[in-house]
């Protein structure tokens, strides 16, 4: 059987291939999780730009904490929420490099809100990739600042009640207001078309660094089917029906 598959997998039959920058380490993500696709897009963009040796990534604390195992570049694993501060110093000290952070919503929109807003406001020439799945995935599905009203998590088991827990935070709208951001967009990776658009956005975010226009901020509205307690297909549907109305896709700012 194996030989038959190898007979088929020949260069002339390939319609696509894994980015050379993605390592062979099996990803630890749950099936259906958006992280795998988002990682692939980052790797592809770095490969396309030919900037492996010029790119420094800053990873988060959260599900993507092991991103350094999957994308073959130099990495800083930042403390929870501090990636924009780490990236600020890396970029200021090595302005010739491409520097990006990859952060979840707990990391970027709760504990790291201050670092995010100030890095954006200073107009650091970095790219911030923001994975928003409305929940803390790694710690087991607690409420995030981005959890939708009424959405159930392990720390709001009856659903997010706004009077007690406050409102879901629209970080992307918030940073779009700041003079230091040049490109602010909200994307998703739930369909092939969405993946293409998200890839284009990430590519643009990286290219912007050379123009020294400030922060490129790319939110990717994502699924966490394990945290949401749904099958991958259900999670994709739920995201479209519930997340997208509150977190509408598209560019918020492009200077």
Partner 1 sequence: MNNDVKLMKGNEAIAHAAIRCGCDGYFGYPITPQSEIMETLMVEEPWKTTGMVVLQAESEVASINMLYGGAGCGKKVMTSSSSPGVSLMQEGISYIAGAELPCVIVNVMRGGPGLGTIQPSQADYFQTVKGGGHGDYKLITLAPASVQEMADFVDIGFEIAFKYRNPVMILSDGVIGQMMEKVVLPPFKPRWSNEHILNINPWATTGKTVNRKQNIITSLELQSELMEQNNLRFQEKYRQVEEKEVRYETIRCEDADYLIVAFGSCARISEKAVEIAREHGIKAGLLRPITLFPYPSKVLQQLTKQLKGILVVEMNAGQMVEDVRLFTREVVPVEFFGRMGGIIPSPEEVFHALENKFVNK
- Which residues of the shown chain bind partner 1 in the complex (CB under 8 A)? 52-56, 58, 65, 68, 72-79, 82, 85-90, 92-94, 97, 114-115, 118
What's the min distance (Å) between Cβ of 73 and partner 1? Answer: 5
| Residue closer to partner 1 (CB basis): 94 or 211 | 94
CB-nearer residue toward partner 1: 87 or 218: 87
Q: Shortest Cβ distance from residue 99 to partner 1 (Å)?
A: 9
Least gap, CB of 179 to partner 1 (angstroms): 15
82 vs 197 by CB, closer to partner 1: 82
Q: What tokens does 51 get? A: 């900037």
Closest distance to partner 1 from the beta carbon of 52 (Å): 6
Q: Are 67 and 94 in contact (CB under 8 A)?
A: no
Cβ-in-10-Å burial (0-12, 13-18, 19+) of 47 comes to middle
Which residue, 38 or 73, has its beta carbon nearer to partner 1? Answer: 73
User: What is the Cα–Cα distance from 73 to 77, expressed in whole angstroms?
Assistant: 12
Q: Least distance to partner 1 from the beta carbon of 25, Å?
A: 11
Q: Helix or strand or coil: residue 199?
A: helix
Min CB(60)–partner 1 separation in Å: 12
Nearer to partner 1, 93 or 158 (CB): 93
Cα separation values, 171 from 26, 138, 190, 211, 217, Å:
31, 21, 21, 24, 10
**What region, left, alpha or beta, does residue 184 occupy, with left being phi > 0 and alpha being psi -120 to 50 degrees?**
beta
- Give the β-pairing of 135-136 and 142-143: antiparallel
Length of the chain: 255
- The span from the CA of 57 to the CA of 60, in Å, is 10
Closer residue to partner 1, CB minimum distance, 61 or 252: 61
């Amino acid at each position: 059987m194996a030989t038959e598959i190898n007979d088929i997998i020949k260069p002339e039959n390939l319609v696509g291939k894994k980015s050379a920058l993605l390592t062979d380490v099996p990803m630890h993500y749950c099936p259906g999780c958006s992280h795998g696709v988002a990682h692939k897009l980052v790797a592809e963009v770095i490969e396309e730009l030919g900037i492996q040796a010029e790119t420094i990534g800053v990873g988060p604390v959260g599900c993507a904490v092991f991103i350094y195992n999957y994308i073959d570049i130099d990495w800083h694993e930042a403390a929870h929420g501090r990636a924009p501060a780490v990236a600020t110093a890396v970029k200021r000290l090595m302005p010739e490099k491409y520097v990006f952070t990859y952060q979840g919503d707990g990391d970027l929109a709760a504990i790291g809100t201050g670092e995010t807003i100030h890095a954006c406001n200073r107009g650091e020439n970095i790219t911030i990739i923001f994975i928003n799945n409305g929940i803390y995935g790694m710690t087991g599905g607690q409420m995030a600042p981005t959890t939708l009203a009424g959405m159930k998590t392990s720390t709001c088991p009856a659903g997010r009640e706004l009077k007690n827990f406050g409102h879901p935070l629209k970080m992307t709208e918030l940073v779009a207001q700041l003079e230091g951001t040049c490109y602010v967009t909200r994307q998703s990776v739930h369909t092939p078309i969405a993946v293409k658009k998200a890839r284009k956005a990430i590519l643009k975010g990286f290219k912007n660094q050379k123009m020294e226009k400030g922060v490129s901020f790319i939110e990717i509205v994502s699924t966490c089917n394990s945290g949401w307690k749904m099958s991958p297909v259900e999670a994709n549907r739920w995201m479209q029906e519930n997340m997208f109305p509150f977190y509408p896709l598209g560019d918020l700012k492009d200077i």
